[in-house]
Structure 1
Amino acid sequence: MMRRISLGSRLALLFAACTAAVSLSAGVLFTQASEQHFIELDEQLLDTRLTQLREQLTGLQTRQQVVDRLPELRSQFNLRTDVALRISSGTGQAWFESRQGLPDANQSAQLKTLQAGGVDYRGLSAPLIEHDPQSPQLTVLLDITHHQHFLQSMQRLIWLTVGLSALATALLGAWAVRRGLRPLRQIGAVAASVNARSLTTRLPVAQMPEELAQLAESMNAMLQRLDDAFQRLSAFSADIAHELRTPLSNLLTHTQVTLTRPRSLDEYREALHGNLEELQWMAQLVNDMLYLAKAEHGLLVPEQQVLDLASEVDALLEYYAPLAEDAGVTLLREGEVVIEGDRQMLRRAFSNLLENALRFAGAGGVVKVGLQAGGQVTVANTGAAIEAAAAQRLFDRFYRGDSARAEGGAEHAGLGLAITRSIVLAHGGGIQVECEAGWTRFVIDFGKGPHSGPKDTSAGLTRNATP
């Protein structure tokens, strides 16, 4: 298995490749520009020299005339060792060459690059007399060996520069990338060190570069969620242990007492009935906790069916009418509304709210259910006021507003409002509590996004708690 290349190495190699490409491109362009510059200079020099020779050799027509002027021509070209001359007839026969070993060149007026005897030439040919095809031909050759050596040296220098630049850029790039990726290593170190005892660790967002600030904020938000979830799990475990401790202790004590001596069949039957009540309460507690667990993991998917809430609420009020009559509480329903939802789930939610309202409305109190267009449902009850701080925890699991919470009770586990909130949220609605003018109102709005929590609109709150 091939070893994975680190991000720092990849960036360093990328910097080196980019630098090498830029340096090479610049070198090639400079070389081509230099070569073109030399060509233009050589062409200008050869044109000038060819014009001068035409003026000097005016009237030259035969080979004998060339022979007669050999001393003049040789002395003239001995002074310029880099320039050579060939004079040939109109048919291409050589009459004169200022040096030996000159390359053959056709009779073309275009600039040519030639080579002979390891020497590079640039040549230009033209007739001695313009527009006369029988006129002797003059070919002026310029030794450009030093040009070529310069260009070759330039190419070697370019390759050397490219190599050194790539190496230097790779080293500097690796150093710069290592420093630039320090925040990433810091994020990795924090992520590697996270455990149940270090969930409060946070990344310093202010010290992060702009590109990593959002990642750091996301990491901090994730750590915060993990911390919150861990705290909830710890509290949940403690609550479960607290709630189950009393019934288990009761069962254990009751069973031990029953078994201390032989008893009659009726006594054993009575003892088993007592244990059955405790076990039924524990089973209901476990079922409620499983229900909340499904809701928190998004597994609580309600069926969508058209419901007339007026008839559903009336059925629940009829069910609770005997209990309300015994407590001296008046039950009312106002308004009508039709929504889409799960009948069983919504009945459970409204039942929890009604039972909660009946328990704290008090003798002579009123419990009123209001239905409004737009999917808003209000369950209100009269009753005594309590401190505002209690409303902050009404929807917490196992929370109860009375002193019974200290030892736990088999009648109310403190899960009713938590289950109600989960059902409302599963339907895409929100629930909140409002307290004013001696009334406590639980307001469910199926027409807005999930939201839950207390909303205190007065100095006092009506006493209320989760069933």
Structure 2
Amino acid sequence: MRGRWSLSSRLALLFAACAAVVSLFAGVLFSRGSEAHFIELDQQLLEGKLIGLRRALQDLDAEQTQRRLEDELSRQADLALRIKGSDGVRWYDSSIRIPAQLPERPGLSTLSDADNDYRVLNAPLYPDRADSPQLTLLLDITHHQHFLQRMQRLIWLTVGLSALATALLGAWAARRALRPLRRMGAIAGNVSARSLNARLPEEQMPAELAELAHSINAMLGRLDDAFQRLSAFSADIAHELRTPLSNLLTHTQVTLTRERSLEDYREALHSNLEELQWMAQLVNDMLYLAKADHGLLALHREPLQLAEEVDVLLDFFAPLAEDANVRLSREGEGRIEGDRNMLRRALSNLLDNALRFTPADGEVRVRMVDGAQGMSVCVENSGEGIAADLLPRLFDRFYRADPARQEGSSEHAGLGLAITRSIIRAHGGQIRCESADGWTRFLIELPKGE
């Protein structure tokens, strides 16, 4: 962490680099444009002077030519003229400061000597004659070059200052813009097992961070829900084990208060055995659910005729249904691939649950529909319905919709539906409950498999 740059510093340097590049590019363009503009102006000036000189040197004697040249050149002090004959012999220099060596090529060019810079234009005096004398016009552009040099220095200064100013402003802007991130970090730093209800203020976040804040809040919500479930789960385990442990302790202490017969000790051991068996079953169910939560249930898949499996279970529950005066029936059939023992356990839990809450002269039905996408199984029973607000909690561990069954029981601990849901999910299916019009239905959707 010590060698890493902060995000604000990185953004500030990026802003500075971008500002420097843009300023430099704009300065170079302005410098090149200014230089091209000066060249264009110099060319126009020299070409205008060339036309005037050609007109002034037409049909004049030497004395008149001298006066006319002096008159033309006197109007602009930074302009000089050299005339050479067609044989290269120098005829005339208007100034002694003209460099000895000048460009020979026709047209416009630039010349620099030790002290001055010149724009040079070479052209024939008589364009229509091959033996025409050559005119060389020189324009002193030293002041132009000085201007361009000052402008280049100004460009570099502007680049440096703009980069520095942009870095400072960028750092300030980045730090201000990243304030929501620091706020998110502060809230996240204060989150603990006791404060999972803390949430990020999504409405105060920029648009770019609102989605992230929403995701973090959703994660905190899931963690809070999982922690609450875990806490409730631990409390439920303690609650469920409290009664049988209390029974065991009380029964054992009472038995040991005085000498008893062998038959009394045997009866006490049998009573304790029932409680221990129930506790062992509870522990086994909890281990089963823990494996399901971590995806450790090993399925032994095989082709199953689901109607045959349901018929076996209905035959098993038939005596109980007969004693309770409840009718059992099965409709439809279908074939799936799954674990025989697990599916039998899941359906057995649903049938046992249905029989317990079906009144006399009621009915329990198992309906199956073999569809193209998978198998649908419905276990339904007539009787008093379940309130809509209780339906989402039916598959919670240790939850009992019947308020009369809140204490620990040696028969039902409220894990049957949770185990059923784990088995169905392990097979890639889904289960839900509906209750309306005097019927409670557990609907199962199972994939057909390969």
Which TM-score applies when normalising by structure 2?
A: 0.89
Verify: 1:419 aligned to 2:419, yes or no: yes
Moved more, 222-231 or 258-267: 258-267
Matches within 5 A, 1:68-217: 73=69, 77-103=73-99, 104-217=101-214
1:238 to 221, 235, 238: 235
Q: Partner amino acid for 2:180?
A: P
Q: Partner amino acid for 1:279?
A: L
Shift of the 176–390 alpha-carbon distance from structure 1 to 2, 3 Å rule, reads closer
SS in 2 for 1:397: coil
Shift of 1:360: 2.6
Matches within 5 A, 1:7-406: 7-58=7-58, 73=69, 77-103=73-99, 104-260=101-257, 270-300=267-297, 302-374=299-371, 375-384=375-384, 390-403=390-403, 405-406=405-406
SS in 2 for 1:446: strand
Alignment correspondent of 1:463: none
Matched-pair contact (CA < 8 Å) for 2:391–2:434: no
Number of residue pairs aligned between Structure 1 and Structure 2 = 444
Q: Deviations over 1:101-120 (max 9, x none)?
A: 42322332221100123100
Shift of 1:41: 0.9
Shift of the 364–110 alpha-carbon distance from structure 1 to 2, 3 Å rule, reads same
Q: Deviations over 1:221-279 (max 9, x none)?
A: 11111111111111101101101112222333344445555666665555444433322
Shift of 1:218: 0.8
Shift of the 129–363 alpha-carbon distance from structure 1 to 2, 3 Å rule, reads closer
* Cα distance in 2 for residues equivalent to 1:178 and 1:157: 31
Verify: 1:410 aligned to 2:410, yes or no: yes
Q: Percent identity?
A: 66
Matched-pair contact (CA < 8 Å) for 2:103–2:120: no
Q: Partner amino acid for 1:231?
A: Q
Matched-pair contact (CA < 8 Å) for 1:85–1:138: yes
Shift of 1:60: 7.9
Shift of 1:348: 0.9
SS in 1 for 2:378: strand
Matched-pair contact (CA < 8 Å) for 1:102–1:116: no
SS in 1 for 2:366: strand
Moved more, 278-287 or 299-308: 299-308
Matched-pair contact (CA < 8 Å) for 1:332–1:367: yes
Alignment correspondent of 2:428: 428
Shift of the 303–58 alpha-carbon distance from structure 1 to 2, 3 Å rule, reads farther
Shift of 1:209: 1.8
* Cα distance in 1 for residues equivalent to 2:52 and 2:78: 16
* Cα distance in 2 for residues equivalent to 1:144 and 1:404: 108
* Cα distance in 2 for residues equivalent to 1:34 and 1:121: 17
Alignment correspondent of 1:456: none
Q: Partner amino acid for 1:253?
A: T
Which TM-score applies when normalising by structure 1?
A: 0.86
* Cα distance in 2 for residues equivalent to 1:231 and 1:144: 86
Matched-pair contact (CA < 8 Å) for 2:53–2:72: no
Alignment correspondent of 2:439: 439
Alignment correspondent of 1:451: none
Shift of 1:143: 0.2
Shift of the 31–386 alpha-carbon distance from structure 1 to 2, 3 Å rule, reads closer
RMSD between aligned alpha carbons?
Answer: 2.8
Matched-pair contact (CA < 8 Å) for 2:386–2:440: no
Structure 1: give runs of 5+ residues left out of the alignment: 449-467
Q: Partner amino acid for 1:315?
A: V
Matched-pair contact (CA < 8 Å) for 1:399–1:405: no
SS in 1 for 2:405: helix
Matched-pair contact (CA < 8 Å) for 1:190–1:203: yes
